[in-house]
Amino acid sequence: MTAIRSLSARLERVPLSRPWGAEVTSVGVIATHVALTDGSEGWGFSWTPQIGAEAVLALVEHDIAPAAVGRDADPRETWEPLWRHLHEAGGGGVTTIALAGLDLALWDAEARAAGVSISARLGRRRPSVRAYGSGVNLHYPLDELVAQARRWVDAGFDAVKVKVGRPDIAEDADRVAAVRDVLGPGRALMIDANQRWDLDTATAAIARLEPFAPAWIEEPLRADDLAAHVELSRRITTPIAAGENVHTVHRFSEYLDSGAAGVVQPNIVRVGGITPFLRIVGLARAHGVPVHPHLLPELSGQLALTLPGDPFVEDVEDAGFGALGALADPSPVRIADGLLTELPHTGLGLRFRHHPTDAIPR
């Protein structure tokens, strides 16, 4: 048995060229490295935009690394017992985000040892996958939002997603109408409320927004309020997209069993890495629900190439690791004309370079 010999981690703060708000001007990347007893090694990461990066790093260093040493290097065998080991600190959230740092590094080591990319290791189904333009843009004035939508159209995207959840629903309707005018009838439009509404507000807001033909409404309610999602799904015809802040296979199972999720959007890091992500994909497939991975296109895009159906990959404007200069190597993917394709690399192709941390807002 090849075992884990060591796991190390460091925190990198990556400045955003297009801030996600006054308080989110950088993202935290916990870069991980695993060494195995057969001499092979792998690189992975955990990620959190604003909150908890130091806590994730501490969990990796003080709890995951000591518990991982000596265990089987096969992530399929190691993930579940380590998750159970960490469960006292919480079933998901910081614990699963931290566990992704090891899981991704183990999958990277496995693919590198085979001399292939992670998509080839898992079984690539297609040469490219559709990407949609996305932005953290609720704070944008209307003219900036419209200009962003035009940039997406000019870049060849056939689908875009915008934020909703302004205090006045009429303002949301005006903003969505303006974006729809830019897109025309032939492009898909998705809307994302980032958990800002309660049940009655969501019901009223979506009634105002459904005439603009949204492909889905993302996170209309608190992610931990399953009952409200079930009720909202009865009240509206627009599919509910859920998963960005759902952290465990078990919680995804509850969403799927209840029929509340018409679209599943696991964030590969937040659920704990590739190992649980693949289990969530299996659950969604059994329920006939499409999977569109959340954020992180350099990672999500590679896995989307292996998924059944017609997955979407989210490309947040000016937020890719490659575009931000965060990577030590060339980006493993390319997004052009609304399509993501893979570039030559082995493993995940995601090794992070050291960033100077002085003068970077935390």
pLDDT digits (tens, 9 = 90+) for 179-201: 999 999 999 999 999 999 999 99
Q: Above 70 in pLDDT, residue 128?
A: yes
**Residue 161 is among the residues annotated as catalytic for this protein:** no
Helices (H), the chain: 53-59, 65-68, 75-86, 94-114, 118-122, 142-154, 169-183, 199-209, 226-235, 249-258, 274-287, 297-304
Domains of the chain with CATH codes:
4-114 (3.30.390.10), 120-342 (3.20.20.120)
Annotate 285-330 with three-state secondary structure: HHHCCCECCCCCHHHHHHHHCCCCCCCEEEEECCCCCCCCCCECCC
294 is catalytic: yes
Q: What is the pLDDT of residue 23?
A: 77
Q: What are phi and psi of 289, to 5 degrees?
A: -110, 130
Average pLDDT of the chain to the nearest whole number: 95
Catalytic residue among 229, 247, 292, 294: 294
Can you tell me the distance from the alpha carbon of 251 to that of 198, in angstroms, rounded to the nearest whole number?
20
Go through the chain and tell me how many residues it has. Answer: 362
- Residue 20 — very low, low, confident or very high, per pLDDT cuts 50/70/90? confident
What angle do the packed helices 249-258 and 226-235 form, to 10 degrees? 30
Radius of gyration of the chain (CA): 20
Q: How is residue 289 written in tokens?
A: 């629900």
| Cβ atoms 220, 232 nearer than 8 A | yes
Q: Give the tens place of pLDDT for each residue, 208-262.
A: 999 999 999 999 999 999 999 999 999 999 999 999 999 999 999 999 999 999 9
- Catalytic residue chosen out of the listed positions 163, 229, 292, 345: 163
φ, ψ of residue 280 to 5 degrees: the values are -65, -40
Contacts of 229 (CB under 8 A, 6+ apart): 220, 221, 240, 242, 255, 258, 260, 261
pLDDT for 48-72, tens place per residue?
A: 988 899 999 999 999 999 999 999 9
Alpha carbon distance 246, 92 (integer Å): 8
